[in-house]
Amino acid sequence: EVQLVESGGGLFKPGGSLRLSCAASGFTYSSYAMNWVRQTPGRGLEWVSSISSSGSAVNYAASVKGRFTISRVNAWNSLYLQMNSLRVDDSAVYYCARADCSGGSCRIDHWGHGTLVAVSS
Amino acid sequence: SYVLTQPPSLSVAPGRTARITCWGYNLGSTSVHWYQQKPGQAPVLVISYNTDRPSGIPERFSGSISGNTATLIISRVEAGDEADYFCQVWDGSADHPYVFGAGTKVSVL
């Protein structure tokens, strides 16, 4: 059974930093691209960042580029999101999400349970 | 950037059919994926590539696409189908490759 378990969320101050982690199990982790997707009541589901299966290619939403860094350690079946220069509008539930791509399209076929990040002074 | 438009809400009686629409420019030229999200839970993929149903998803869930509109169809609606439903497309050439609709809240009367 595919499992994605996030950790690292909590309450943080604007301008601060945190690192989210995602522990993957139940599949060959090194074969899949991975994503971070966040969700707020106001903005809905918002893609944040992607990393290729090898980790050699990364991509970021414009709203987080230059502040967030996605990384992975395939030997540890782990995914990370380093979040710096936090802003109030980074507050959201952050999901670790497995990508499955075929025929020129990608879907998210498995999601973690999510971890809540709240940014407030 | 690509925009997907969904109705905010939909009410349906038990046993009836719910049709949730997702509109996007030239949507018929891409693949649409659908997710179900119940309160306090993570999204679950229920339809992918317009019409494919992942393993474990009831046959009551189906998808269709015509022109600029994709539709998630829930037949014989049950109380447990009450949830938010999101459509999604992938635009590899865009800054935001994963594009989600705002979601439709389905209420079972």
pLDDT digits (tens, 9 = 90+) for B5-44: 999 999 999 999 999 999 999 888 889 999 999 999 999 9
Mean pLDDT within B43-68:
96
Nearest alpha carbon to residue B46 among B33, B65, B32: B33
CB pairs under 8 A between A and B: 67
| pLDDT for residue A96 | 98
Distance of residue A95 Cα from the nearest chain B Cα, in angstroms: 8
Residue of B9, B88, B98 to mutate when probing chain A, most A C-beta within 10 A: B98
On the question of pLDDT at B73 being above 80, the answer is: yes
- pLDDT top residue among B94 and B74: B74
pLDDT digits (tens, 9 = 90+) for B79-98: 999 999 999 999 887 778 99
A104 pLDDT band (50/70/90 cuts)?
Answer: confident
Task: Report yes or no: A48 and A36 within 8 Å, Cβ to Cβ.
Answer: yes
Nearest alpha carbon to residue A48 among A82, A14, A18: A82
**A101: nearest CA partner in chain B:** B90
Give CA–CA dist B26/B84, Å, rounded: 24
